[in-house]
Amino acid sequence: MIVSIFLSSGNISWHELKHSISGFGVTGCLLAFLFLGGQILFMVFRYWALLPTEHSINIFRMAYAISVGQAVNTYFPARAGDFLKAALMTRDPKTAFSGKAPTGEFEGEDRRFTFLKAMGLIVADRVVDVGTLILMVLFSGALFIPADIVAKKEMPPTWVFVAVIVGILAAVIIAKYAVGTRVSDKLKTIAHWIKDFRAGFRGMVKPRKLALGILFAALSWGCEILSLQTLSSMQGFPMTFTQAVFVLLALNFFISVPLSIANFGPFEAGVVMALQAVEKIPTEQALAVATVHHLAQMTSVVAMAAISFLLLRYVAPKSAR
């Protein structure tokens, strides 16, 4: 879709676009594919690190659940893959909303890793993932580049950042007390569901697990940054780490609201506009980077899902299948 828009506007021709894409060759496409495959691998490790201590999931099943769910998220809107991740991790989604009282011995909680606990883990992972990207943006200075878009004098005053942090902390505290266990008898089932969901966050509040989660999140984002840097460099426009983080931020902003199948259109538009902002790269070359990066992401996630299925089927112990 985005290709047709650029072509119809007269900015570029098919010949120019194909010429730019051919500049990558097999090497560029393969590197992008491998880097984005690494992104999925570190994503699996991130979930593994944030898994609550009292639960244990075979690493092959975890890899299968995350890679297959991520493939669905890549091709279909509305984050449908997240629900599939939870179902594949638990293998027993039918008991998710049973409303039965906890029967386990761990701090009065059910030791089963239920569907709602898996959803809690997925939300916790999302918080760590997005939080790590925000930290990378802040520490790299990517939020304030390029200079002609956000001038230094236009930076918000310090009190704005303080107010945002205080607001977030206040919301967390209020939410904690709002979701208490003192509810009427009629709401006991809902309270149990909420308790189950909150249990999925237990790993995130452990300093060691949180640190590992942030590390793997940074490595996961780093793989995508390497893909963007490699493709841009092969077009003759090498990017610094800060510039690449800015492109990554713009890309995720554009695809934050799913508008099309596999994010075709918003994905390419985000990369093209960001690349042209930081590098003044010609449209056909920016679009070539965006197209190859997107195709590499789409193929790598399917390949990782297929590999994880084969590992689960033929390598993992029978108890994990």
DSSP character string of 189-207: HHHHHHHHHHHTTGGGGSH
Q: Pick the closest to residue 50 from 268, 211, 172, 183 (CA basis).
A: 211
Q: What pLDDT is attached to residue 211?
A: 92
Q: What pLDDT is attached to residue 296?
A: 95
Domain ranges for the chain: 16-247+257-320
Token pair of 247, please?
């492109």
**Residue ranges of the chain with per-residue pLDDT less than 70:** 1-16, 19, 78, 91-112, 145-165, 167-169, 171-192, 320-321
- pTM, whole model, 2 decimals? 0.78
Count other C-beta atoms under 10 Å from residue 23's C-beta: 15
Q: What pLDDT is attached to residue 257?
A: 72
Q: Is the four-CA dihedral 223, 225, 231, 233 of positive or negative sign?
A: negative
Token pair of 227, please?
């893909």
Nearest-angstrom CA–CA distance, 232 and 270:
14
Would you say how long the chain is, in residues?
321
List, for residues 147-182, the tens digit of each pLDDT value: 444 444 444 555 555 666 676 667 666 655 555 544
Q: What pLDDT is attached to residue 152?
A: 41
**At CB < 8 A and 24+ separation, what contacts does 207-213 make?**
209/49, 209/50, 209/53, 210/50, 210/128, 212/46, 212/49, 212/50, 213/46, 213/49, 213/50, 213/125, 213/128
Q: What pLDDT is attached to residue 284?
A: 87
Token pair of 51, please?
């898994």
Q: What pLDDT is attached to residue 15?
A: 65
Nearest-angstrom CA–CA distance, 217 and 47:
10
Nearest-angstrom CA–CA distance, 264 and 77:
11
Q: What pLDDT is attached to residue 160?
A: 56
Distance of CA 169 to the CA centre of its chain: 23
Nearest-angstrom CA–CA distance, 269 and 275:
10
Half-sphere exposure of 178 (CA within 13 A, CB side): 6
